[in-house]
Structure 1
Amino acid sequence: MSTWHLYLVRTRSGALYTGITTDVERRFSEHQADGPRAARSLRGKGPLTLAFAAAVGDRTRAARLEYALKQWPRQRKEALVSGQLRLQDVEA
C-alpha cells in the first residue's frame, strides 16, 4: 500500500494548484514537462515551483484533504505554505 501526498504547486503568476499523488517528485516533474501528463490547468503557466507537500496516508484521506483545501481562500492556503497553519487544520 502506497502513502499518498497532498501538494501545492505555485505558477509563474503566483496561483496555487492543489493535487494528490503517491510520488511527489514524479508528479511535479510531469507538471514541469508541460506535456500530456501535466494537469491541464498548469500547462503554459511555468515556471512552476513546489510550494508545499506532505504525506497524508491513504487515497481516501488524501482526496478528502484535497477537496477541503480547494475550498479554502488563497490567504489560508498561503498560511499553510508559510507554516502558519498545519495540515491538521485542513480537516478542521
Structure 2
Amino acid sequence: MTDHPSTFHGDPQNTGAIDWDDRAALHRVGDGRGVFDGSKALKHGTFSDIIKHLMMLPAEEREKYAIQKAGDRKYTAEEAVALADHPNFPRD
C-alpha cells in the first residue's frame, strides 16, 4: 500500500501509482469527523470498489458523498468521477 511507511526510515513509499486496493469508506459530505468518523461510514471496501459504488448512483446524487481513503485523504465525488475514467482503473 503506497500510503503506509516502509520499515526502512519509516518514509511513505510515494511511487505516484494509485493504490486501487487500499482501504476506503463512503461518507456523506459534512457528516463531521472526530472520534466516531469510522462508524459514520455508509460503506467500506477497496478504493476501487467504493468508486464503482459511487458511480452507480445518479449523477445528481453523487455530490452528497465523499470517499475517505486510508492515509486520511478525502476525495470528492468530482475527483472520484475523474478517477473512474483513469486508464488504470480496474473495470472488473
TM-score normalised by length of structure 2: 0.28
TM-score of the two chains, using structure 1 as the length reference: 0.28
Greater RCO, CA 8 A, separation 6+: 1
Which structure shows the higher helix fraction? 1
